[in-house]
Every structure is written in C-alpha cells, then in structure tokens.
Structure 1
Amino acid sequence: MTHSAKPFDHPRIKVVGSFHELLTTPFANGVNALCWPRVLTGNFAEVVELLGTGEGIVSLDEKLLRNLPLSEAGRLAVEVMLEDQRLLREQDLDPEINCIHGYPREETPGPVATDVMSFHVDSATAEADTWLCTYHGAPSEGLPNEEACMRTEIPETRAELQRLYGGRDDEDFRDYLAENCYDLHYAPLPHAKPYSFGVGNLWRIATDWPGSPVPPCIHRAPETRSGDAVRLLLIS
C-alpha cells in the first residue's frame, strides 16, 4: 500500500476553511470526512518532553497542562489544544486531550483484530460524529470506502468466525459479529491508498449510526512501536 500523494483530493473528503464551516457542513453526496487544514503555532514537542515518560494512554487536563514549566512556545501549544477543546465543549461534546505512549493490544487476537490500529469505523446508536486532531507524533490514517472490504465478508475470515461462534450463518451469528465489533473492521484492498490525516489538521468524520446519509469514514490510529514519538491527540 502507498499513501495518496494528495491526501485531500478524494471525493469522500471535503476541505473547509474554518471551525464554523467544519461544524455546519453536512455530510452529503458521499462525503464522510471533513478537514480543516491548519499550520499550528507552538512547541508541542516541548509539552511532550515535560510530560515525561509513561505508558498507555494518559488523559491531560487543563490544570496539568498549565502547570508545566513551559517556554512561551510551549505555552502557545497548550493554548492551541485547550482552545480546540473549548470549541468542542461549547457544542456539548466531551473532547479529551490524550498523551499516547502506546495503544493496548489484544492479548488473544482472533481472526479479526478489534484494536484502534485496525482500519475501522466508529458506531453510535444516534446521530454522532468523531472529531480528532493530532498535535504531535504520527497522525491517524483514513481509507476510502471503495478501497476496503469488511473483514467479516472475507470468506476465510467469516468461516473462522463462524467456527468460533459454533452455529449457523444466520441472524444470531450476525448479532454475534456486531456484539464483538467484528463488523466494524475493514481490510484494505490490494490497490488501496490510505491517506494521512496530517498533523495539526482538525477533522470531523462520519460514524455508523441508523439513518446516516453517508457511509462511515474508515480510519485507524498509527501503529505504536518502541522508540516512536509520543502522540498528542484531541478526540471526541
């Protein structure tokens, strides 16, 4: 797989020029990913350095960030993150700023990996979107729907899942797939060209909810390996 040279030139992606436009542009005509491209000011690497070592995913609150002994450039980076969080909270959302040292992996992986590093869609029982921005470290990746297939539709994978389920390929089996989130995960097709969400860009992407006018956006978190840069991520 190779990444597309122009990450935002796919008909499923629409580029906007402001937070207001990002918030108010409807998902329609197949567009399921909205991006507000930004070049951010501030030293986010300094924030990461002062946060120190750790493991897993650490949620950062305003008090902790403001108490870091930062330079002016570091304080600018903190203000950028807190302002993004404020904008989303004003929309009755619950955004988190996370410092990600590594993502948990499944201890006993089955035929379908269900961690966030697998291409997947987010789901909800009512209308909802996912918002995210990477400030430091490797960004998320997206995958056009036409360049992916559901892992549960791959014959060998489905057969293995059915063997684990121990029953027929019927409605109960489909409920089993949904209950275990297997039906939210996708495999890239051989010609697939994932695109990078980039650093600093604020995204709003479509989720899988009843009545959604567009297919959900397929995406994944970057692989986390020892020695990789720590990730600063806003997600809601």
Structure 2
Amino acid sequence: MLLYQSRVHTLKLTPFPRDASALSWASSLIRSIYIFFVASRMTSSFLLPADYRRIKVVHYFDELVATPFTDGMNALCWPRALDGDFGEVVRRLEVENGEGIVTLEEERLRSLEVSAAGRMAVGQMLADLQRLRDLDREPVLNCIYGYPRDEEPGPVATDVFSFHADSAPVEADTWLCTYYGPPSEGLRNEEALRRVDIPETRAELLRLFGGEEDEAFAEWLSEHCYDLHYAPLPNARPFSFGHGNLWRIAVDWPGSAVPPCVHRAPAHSPDEPPRLLLIS
C-alpha cells in the first residue's frame, strides 16, 4: 500500500485489485485524489489582511474574552494551529449529503471510533465548547453539508451566503471557528455597501413595501433583515477566517461603539467535504 501523509490528512492508494474492474478501481482512485487535494486546499496557510485596523490578533483565550471592541476594531482573532485529524472525524460521522446541517452532541463525538489523531481533534472541539459554556454561552457545533437558500430572494438575498452582519436587541457578539471544510469569509467595512443603500435595490424594495419611505419602511426593512446584508464594492478583497482560529466578532446592536463585522458562509459544492463549524 502506498501512503502519503500530511499533517491533517492521509491519502491511501491501494494497488490494483485483481478481482475488480479497471473502471471501478480508477473511479475510486480519482475520488481519493480529489478529496486529498480538496483537503490540501482547505488547510493552506492562513493570512490576515495586512494593515487592517478593524481586526486585532490576540494570543490567548482570556485576552479574546476581555478585549473590548473600540476605536473601530470589530473583530478579534485568536490564531491557532490545532493538532488532530478533523477530516477523520467528518468521515466517521457518516453524515449524508442531503442532511444539510447536523448538530453534533458531545455524546456522539465521544462515541466515534477514531484514531489517536481523530481523538485529538474531538478533544480540541470539546475543549472549545466547554470554554464557551464556562462563559454562560450556548455554543453549537455543526457538521454542515449545505445551508438553505432563499427560494424567492427578491431584490436582496438574506441567506448566509450573502455578506451580512449579525444583529441583537442588546449588547452581544458572535463567536466562530471553522475546524474543517471551507472557512467563513469576511469583508472589510470600507469595501462593503448595504444593499438597501443601493438606489436601484432600494427603489425595488420600496415598490414591494407599497408605501412611503418613512419610519414604517425602515421597520419593514429591519423585520425582513434586508438592512443587514451587504454588497462588495468593485475590487473588494474578501478574506478568510481560516481553520482552527477562534474569532469573536461585533454585531449590530443599539449603542454599539463599532460597526458590525461583515461576513458570510462560503460557497459550498456538493462534491466538497462538509464543514465543521463552532458558532455561538
């Protein structure tokens, strides 16, 4: 057996089986190679935007918790290179493509039959869940094959694939970490424009509202979350949240001292492995 091993992924190529057809063996080989290169792409080096004042890098968890959003800074990143085989965890979960989003309970993770590297990955995720629970948060770990899309989006799509800001009626923030699969993406506030502020889009929304551009219209936009979605400006440079990095980002709430962090879920092909995402 030929074996190629990287830090996070193992590709096994079996010799041509005498009792199998060439077509079947070739198909299996091609799929193994495809999955390996997808995993390699997903674990490429992570670079934060250079000279971007709205992101602050921290060096330990307590600093991530305690650092306030001030002076325009609206995202905190704790960069981490986590040990463990998260890809093995995904494979052992045996989540079907059509399941969409599957919430992973602690009991299910602990019961997986995985190697030492897989067990290490499970331990990393459970530790993060406990960190956030200790802050009286309610974190969720999801295995995601796909998100629901707006069936009739109209002038403004409001699904998670659209750049958007999270919102809350009281002071709040969002925590995110992608362990495996395509990571979340961010957009600089200076390179984003609210879709409701695009004249053509606003005119179409006003037509759908069927009234005047007044306080009632503003409330209608808010009720439908239209005012939380953004369009990238020409030549915008979206950036990746990377893998294993724990983020704390600002949301849109009354009285916030900073603008919300604009982000989105990445486009996801059915042929790609699912995401492992922690969110709180």
TM beyond 0.5: yes
Aligned to 2:222, the other structure's residue is in SS state: helix
| Equivalent position of 1:98 in the other structure | 142
CA deviations over 1:196-225 (Å, ceiling 9, x no partner): 100110000000111111100000010122
Mark the CA change 1:109 to 1:88 in structure 2 (over 3 Å): closer, same or farther: same
1:48 to 78, 90, 111: 90
1:37 to 79, 95, 99: 79
The higher relative CO (CA closer than 8 Å, separation ≥ 6) is in 1
One-letter code of the match for 1:163?
A: R
One-letter code of the match for 2:255?
A: G
Kindly report which structure 2 residues correspond to 1:52-201, keeping only aligned pairs within 5 A, or say none: 52-54=94-96, 55-201=99-245
CA deviations over 1:69-126 (Å, ceiling 9, x no partner): 1111101000100100100000000000000010111111111000011000000011
- 1:156 and 1:166 map into 2 onto residues whose CA distance is 16
Q: How many residues align?
A: 233
* In the alignment, structure 1 residue 212 sits paired with structure 2 residue 256: yes
Shift of 1:5: 6.4
Percent of pairs identical after alignment?
Answer: 64
The CA RMSD measured in Å over matched residues stands at: 1.2
One-letter code of the match for 1:7?
A: P
- 2:166 and 2:101 map into 1 onto residues whose CA distance is 19
Aligned to 1:86, the other structure's residue is in SS state: helix
| Equivalent position of 2:57 in the other structure | 15
Provide runs of 4+ in structure 1 moved above 3 Å.
Answer: none
Contact 1:114-1:185 at 8 Å conserved across structures: yes
- 2:180 and 2:159 map into 1 onto residues whose CA distance is 21
Shift of 1:6: 4.3
TM-score, normalised to structure 1, is 0.96
Contact 1:8-1:15 at 8 Å conserved across structures: no
Contact 1:8-1:14 at 8 Å conserved across structures: no
Aligned to 2:178, the other structure's residue is in SS state: strand
Larger helix percent? 2
- 1:198 and 1:88 map into 2 onto residues whose CA distance is 20
Aligned to 2:87, the other structure's residue is in SS state: helix
Q: Note the residue ranges of structure 1 that are not aligned, 5 or more in a row.
A: none
CA deviations over 1:15-40 (Å, ceiling 9, x no partner): 00000000000100100000000000
Q: Which has the larger radius of gyration?
A: 2
